[in-house]
Structure 1
């Protein structure tokens, strides 16, 4: 298949690109290599596929409507939309940037998709849309009217736009709600990356709150399996959780990282951070039913793989 992957140089995107190429797809990546974190990291993510005969890289911004329209004339069968400004905490500082990239950028892609062939559209959403929804584990039909960060709002808006373009234009869309993805190549601002680096260097780890916040950590390989399964199916419109592997508290996570690294962690406690939710936990029944997907990587296995990648 001919597949366009937006944000394909990023953490999750580069793994998806490699998996698609491995199975024989023709892949075009569009990525702007912005400075949210060191662009050199993202370039290294793609270093192993740049010479692949079925790979093409386009450097550009999804907010550039003319670029997106030109790209989508390439008769793609599927668009995997992973490009976004990520992160809850940074979105509090610059919500306008998050709105323009995550919403206007998505609109450009949806408009282009409708205009040029209506490729199946796989949208990367986020567990953050559940916000303060009280019932755990979270199911796709739970209320999502209480997001508590601009990032979460943009992801919920993205889901609604996907529904709208399916309803009005018949565009086949699926929104995959990712739950705290980790693993090799993860962004340096993510918790496991920061915790591991601090323990290796003997630096203290800052814990916001008392460390009892719960997160559903999902290994990147399990996420890739979900994306590839979604690429193969027609849904009309669906929202599907990708998570449910293992939920642990922040303190338990730090202990697990310490075990993996083989060193003790030093902790500093600070007040909770606005925008952080107290718990995330995915109900994965729908992913099992529609995608045949069950997360299979435990946190200890995933942390070991991450450390082996970080310290080869």
Structure 2
């Protein structure tokens, strides 16, 4: 069913994939992006959408945008996903200055609409669970270990607190580590693939780390389902595969798919890699409430990503 849809962070990796899927469905799309944001991921579809360049903290501009869009559903994907570890308070300050105020500003503005949206879907991350026991489940206590994870977890908690006053249902989709075509090569998988394709050396520093990796097509499938029908009484849901291969296993598959020389890739010493971390979430709730599960295997997702990167220039 075609709807008027508003997407924040629409020019990003996941957002650009969501845009295309919603256009295929026939939705009228309103994309909210920052004034300085590059639109390179949206070049071929930009004439099919209504673009709003503004800061979410600009109350007047946001009100005008929402009045024009009158959205039936909202996808809030606007949050920085690649942050380097900070030895000081920089990461915390960025979260407090941007991510949380932007979320609250958007919720407050939507709540004042004469006809509020019927669905609000926010992208979170399994990083919110941090060092909690795996596999992560939605009803367990979060234990974030980074400012990024703590900031997202705080946003999830604010949504819970506001549940009784918001005139629309809101849910946080805690996404596993998403990969696929169009992802910045600042991330491990596309950086590794590019190095293999170009025959350059690459160092996997933490080969024993295990990560729940989900292909972007599967993540978008789940987001679309949540926009169409949010499960009653559910404000958090994991969107994950329930599997967490090691980075060594992922790297070996990339080498095999690209045909790269294995000697080009150097691994950290597993014997010294005693601090290996695991990010792994249970998809049971999504399977039960949405009848959703990841359909793309890791191998197939990597093959699709390699094929896309053979056709596309590098992304930063």
TM-score by length of 2: 0.88
State the Cα deviation string for residues 232-266 of structure 1 (Å, max 9, x = none).
Answer: 11345420111116420011111111111111242
**Contact 1:196–1:257 (CA<8 Å) still a contact in 2?**
yes
- Stretches of structure 2 that go unaligned for 5 or more consecutive residues are 312-316
Match of residue 228 from structure 2: 232
**Whole-Å Cα distance in 2 between the matches of residues 246 and 33 of structure 1?**
38
Match of residue 126 from structure 1: 125
**Whole-Å Cα distance in 2 between the matches of residues 228 and 92 of structure 1?**
38
Larger mean CA deviation between 177-186 and 198-207 belongs to: 198-207
Equivalent of 1:47, from 43, 46, 59?
Answer: 43
How does 1:215-226 map onto structure 2 within 5 Å? 215-226=211-222
How does 1:275-290 map onto structure 2 within 5 Å? 278-290=277-289
**Contact 1:124–1:178 (CA<8 Å) still a contact in 2?**
yes
SS in 2 for 1:51: helix
**Contact 2:204–2:265 (CA<8 Å) still a contact in 1?**
no
**Contact 1:243–1:283 (CA<8 Å) still a contact in 2?**
yes
- Alignment pair present for 1:247 and 2:232: no
Match of residue 303 from structure 1: 302
The aligned length equals: 297
**Whole-Å Cα distance in 1 between the matches of residues 276 and 105 of structure 2?**
30
Match of residue 17 from structure 2: 15
Deviation at 1:301, TM superposition (A): 0.5
SS in 2 for 1:168: coil
**Contact 1:88–1:150 (CA<8 Å) still a contact in 2?**
no
How does 1:157-176 map onto structure 2 within 5 Å? 157-176=154-173
Give the RMSD, CA atoms, in angstroms.
2.1
**Contact 2:136–2:282 (CA<8 Å) still a contact in 1?**
yes
- Alignment pair present for 1:204 and 2:198: no
Deviation at 1:268, TM superposition (A): 5.1
Match of residue 86 from structure 1: 81
- Alignment pair present for 1:68 and 2:66: no
| CA shift in 2, pair 1:44/1:261, >3 Å | same
Deviation at 1:296, TM superposition (A): 0.8
**Contact 1:180–1:217 (CA<8 Å) still a contact in 2?**
yes
Equivalent of 1:77, from 72, 76, 87?
Answer: 72
**Whole-Å Cα distance in 1 between the matches of residues 291 and 14 of structure 2?**
20
SS in 1 for 2:104: helix
| CA shift in 2, pair 1:56/1:305, >3 Å | same
| CA shift in 2, pair 1:177/1:91, >3 Å | farther
**Whole-Å Cα distance in 1 between the matches of residues 83 and 30 of structure 2?**
28
- Stretches of structure 1 that go unaligned for 5 or more consecutive residues are none
SS in 1 for 2:244: strand
